[in-house]
Amino acid sequence: MKDPRTAASVASCLDDEGFINAGPTLQLPALSNVFAGGDICTKARFGGGERMAGYAHGHAFLICENIERLAGTKSGPLQAMHHGIPTGTEGETDNEYVFISLGKTDTLLYAKWPVMKMFFQTPDAMEEKYGPIEEAPDGWVELGDLNPVKFQQWNDMFIGALGEGRDEWWAQFDAPRLYDAP
Ligand SMILES: Cc1cc2nc3c(=O)[nH]c(=O)nc-3n(C[C@H](O)[C@H](O)[C@H](O)COP(=O)(O)OP(=O)(O)OC[C@H]3O[C@@H](n4cnc5c(N)ncnc54)[C@H](O)[C@@H]3O)c2cc1C
């Protein structure tokens, strides 16, 4: 998004890689009434710097929350959101989970986030091999046929939640991640 022809006002909102330098509240640096979410945001807005849909829905939730607070339809300070698993090094996180498709059926599932435990096919074997998911230094890793999860369970779950406008369903994942913006 950034080259020598880019207007200075726009360039000032972009990081060195050309992504939008949205702050923790997802506001643009110079335009506090403009928000950015999803892959277009700078790396720091993603767990482990990995641009994923799994974080984009959190961005959408956060932006809605902050628009309401700016508009005064909700009270309280603007919110920021935790993404990723803290590594112990200041400002650094690991990714929470990744699905990597390998061929027609196999999928590698990596996760450090306890919410993802339900998607492992052999959770007992994982616990024995790596220890509790929240304590395993490199998370749990399982290779298996996850097509029913990817192409049925998740679709039904997301289409149902979006189609029926079940905001509270989304809130169970995203609301606990919010904190008052610094
Ligand atoms: C192979 C692959 C596997 C992935 N696997 C996962 C996964 O397992 N889990 C996960 O969470 N994430 C995964 N991701 C990442 C995920 O797809 C993205 O993080 C997510 O789609 C980002 O959503 P977005 O809405 O920000 O951007 P996009 O989905 O890229 O949407 C941007 C839209 O804007 C449109 N657009 C672009 N320029 C213009 C323009 N000038 N005018 C109008 N429209 C425009 C594009 O056509 C596009 O439709 C994967 C990505 C890839 C490529």
Query: What are the pLDDT digits (tens) for 96-137?
Result: 999 999 999 899 999 999 989 999 999 999 999 999 999 999
Q: Is 111 in the pocket of ligand 1 (CB under 6 A)?
A: no
Q: Cα–Cα distances in Å, from 151 out to 77, 104, 122, 161?
A: 39, 12, 20, 16
Residues shown for the chain: 182
Question: With contact defined as beta carbons under 8 Å apart, do 37 and 26 qualify?
Answer: yes
Q: How far is the CA of 135 from the centre of ligand 1 (A)?
A: 31
Instruction: Residue 75: name the closest of 66, 84, 88 by CA.
Output: 66
pLDDT exceeds cutoff 90 at 7: no
**CA 37 to ligand 1: nearest atom:** 26
What are the Cα distances from residue 84, in Å, to 2, 55, 96, 148? 27, 9, 5, 26
Q: Average pLDDT of 9-19?
A: 89
What's the CA-to-centroid distance between 127 and ligand 1, angstroms? 33
Average pLDDT value for residue range 15-22: 93
Contact between residue 71 and residue 89 where contact means Cβ atoms under 8 Å apart: no
Convert the pLDDT of each residue in 24-80 to its tens digit: 999 998 888 999 999 999 999 999 999 998 899 899 999 999 999 999 999 999 999
Spell 8-23 as b/e; 16+ CB within 10 A means b.
Answer: eeeeebbeeeebbbbb
Measured between alpha carbons, how far is 65 from 109 in angstroms, rounded to an integer? 31
CA 39 / ligand 1 centre spacing (Å): 7
Which pLDDT score, from 0 to 100, does residue 1 have?
65
Residue 9 confidence (pLDDT): 80
pLDDT at 2 over 80: no
pTM, to two decimals: 0.87
What is the pLDDT averaged over residues 136-157? 91
> From ligand 1's centre to the CA of 9, what distance in Å?
25
State the Cα–Cα distance between residues 112 and 100, nearest whole angstrom.
Answer: 15
Res 142 pLDDT > 90: yes
Distance, CA of 136 to CA of 40 (rounded, Å):
31
Ligand 1 nearest atom to the CA of residue 39, by list position: 26
Q: What percent of the chain has pLDDT over 90?
A: 62
Q: Residue 103 gets which letter from DSSP?
A: T
Check pocket membership of 82 for ligand 1, CB cut-off 6 A.
Answer: no
Q: Which atom of ligand 1 is nearest to the CA of 51?
A: 19
Mutate to test the pocket of ligand 1, among 20, 45, 51, 55 (most ligand atoms within 8 A of CB): 51
